[in-house]
Structure 1
Amino acid sequence: MSARNPRIGAGTVRRWSQILAPRCSVLDLGCGHGVPVSQTLIEQGFTIYRVDASRKLVAAFRHRFPDASVECSAVEDSEFFGRTFDGVIAWGLMFLIPPEIQSVVIRKVASALNLGGKFLFTSPKESVKWRDALTDRESISLGTEGYQRILRAEGLVLIGEQCDEGDNYYYLSSKV
């Protein structure tokens, strides 16, 4: 995972955090080693809950942020979905999980978000399948139309899309 540039995505996460209430609660799905997402949110002063399925990445996260809590489990099985949040972020995660699990995660995010809460995630704009360069895992994007359909079915509205300096494509939705 060291091949990932720690600066790419930080600006987008920072801008997203500015539409959230100060010091609100945020769930970081697939937090990995914590850079850039958790680090940026920590710097912004949010109450952050984190989950990642990789023991190795969770260990790296704990080494980097020894005072921060992180749960090691598959995101769809996270105990954090028993809480509510003002924001949920899934950077570099959605396309790594099978399409049926992507739908489950979106449903759980929608249930965990407070009214007006924001969900930001990355996945290619196109509906496409490929082998991820960082993880060597099969990756599947449902594309804008696929994600929009699932978001809408779960009470979320797609309110924005953008691409960052590393060509990561972002979907921003809000619970209505």
Structure 2
Amino acid sequence: MIDESNGYESIADLYIKWRGRAVDGIGSSTVRAWALPLNKGSVILDLGCGTGIPVTKILLDEGLTVYALDASPTMIESFRENFPNVPVACESVESSPFFHRSFDGIIAVGLIFLLSEETQRALISKMAAVLNPGGRLLFSAPLEKVEWKDTMTGLLSRSLGAEQYRALLSAAGLSIVGELVDEGGNYYFNAIRLTSIAIKP
């Protein structure tokens, strides 16, 4: 059976204990700064939401409307305890019906580099296609092209590197408005959808 959580279901209890309750954890200030320019009520998709802390909580605190997604059942159970009124689904980014609607923003912290190169490429295009004009995308991935074993799951992670991510964002019709580094040294790509694009069937 394929583990759509990329190993995180097997270590979910440990993750929740170590990281899933840190309201002001590493990256919080970066997420908050990204959320500030968005209009109140803007609809945001949080990919790889985990427990919802800190990312979903920050988005809600900023007055945004959040939909959330994670492939770990244990993470989703914790998320629902934390945010019972937020629409959340236990699904993979490859198969989620959430991509049948549009969003004003999409955020993916600690997710993209867990995926295969092919899935990363497809996901960037997929995210871009469901962003409204003016919609924003923020995702984290190492600046360099590199592969490593995830410290918690032991599974292979991979960054395509900044050059590839920039090219993929541009090809998907997004314009990079900034690249950020948080207090933990994590790198983020911040892009915006300037115009509408035709979504292929």
Within the alignment, does 1:3 sit opposite 2:25 as a pair? no
**2:122 alignment partner in structure 1:** 104
Aligned-partner residue type, residue 189 of structure 2: Y
Please identify, of 130-139 and 28-37, the stretch whose mean Cα deviation from structure 2 is larger. Answer: 130-139
Query: Offset at 1:45?
Result: 1.5
Structure 1 counterpart of 2:76: 58
Distance 1:122 1:135 in 2: 18
Give secondary structure in 2 for the equivalent of 1:77: coil
Normalising by structure 2, what TM-score?
0.84
CA distance in 2 between partners of 1:3 and 1:170 (Å): 22
Give the percent of matched residue pairs that are identical in Structure 1 and Structure 2: 45
Structure (1 or 2) with the greater strand fraction: 1
2:54 to 15, 36, 45: 36
> Within 5 Å, which residues of 2 pair with 1:1-150?
1=15, 2-4=17-19, 5-7=22-24, 8-150=26-168
Aligned residue in 1 for 2:10: none
Report runs of 4+ in structure 1 exceeding 6 Å deviation: none
For the pair shown, which has the larger CA radius of gyration, 1 or 2? 2
Long gaps (5+) in structure 1: none
Instruction: Summarize deviations over 1:81-137 as a string: whole Å, max 9, x none.
Output: 111111100000000111110111111111110111110000100000001113332
| Counterpart AA for 1:135 | T
Counterpart among 140, 150, 171 of residue 153 in structure 1: 171
Q: Secondary structure at the match of 2:18?
A: coil
Distance in 1 (alpha carbons) for counterparts of 2:36 and 2:99: 23
8 Å CA contact 1:3–1:134 kept in 2: the answer is: no
Alignment RMSD: 1.2
Structure 2 residue runs without a partner (length 5+): 1-14, 195-201
